[in-house]
Amino acid sequence: MVIDRVLSVACYLCAGSASRTSMSEPRLSGRSQCEMYRMRFGDSDSDNKPLCMHCHGRMVAVCSFFSYLKIVRRGLIKRPIADIWLEVNRVRLQMWLARSGASPDCSLQIAA
C-alpha cells in the first residue's frame, strides 16, 4: 500500500527502517530517527535510494577519503609528505568513526 511505503522507509544499504512511530524518539544527537537521505549510486540509476543517517555518514566519509586521494594523485596539493600523510590518516579516522557509529560532530585530533 502506498501509505505504508511513505510511513515506513527502509534504508537501501542496511535495510534498517524508519517508521512513523520512531519519529518522537530522539537519538543521542537530538535528531529524530526517521530522517532519511536520498542518494543515487551510479549514473545509470533512475531513482534515488533511501539512506538512514548512519549509512549516509559512512558514505560521506568514504567519498571524502577517495576525493582527497584523487586530489593528491593529481598533484594539486603542494604540501610536505608528512602533512599529506597526516591528512590521509585523519580522513581514515573519520571513516572509522562513521563505521563505528560515532557522531559526525565527534572530532579527534591527530597530534602532529
pLDDT given at position 14: 81
pLDDT given at position 110: 59
Give the span between the Cα atoms of 34 and 18, in whole angstroms: 5
Neighbours of 98 (CB within 10 A): 22
Classify residue 25 by its DSSP letter. S
Segments of the chain with pLDDT less than 50: 1-7, 20-28
pLDDT given at position 92: 92
pLDDT given at position 53: 83
pLDDT given at position 24: 40
What is the pTM assigned to this prediction?
0.65
Q: What is the CA radius of gyration of the chain?
A: 18
Q: What Å distances lie between residue 5 and 31, 35, 38, 41, 64, CA to CA?
A: 22, 15, 15, 21, 32
Closest CA to 103 of 30, 1, 14: 30
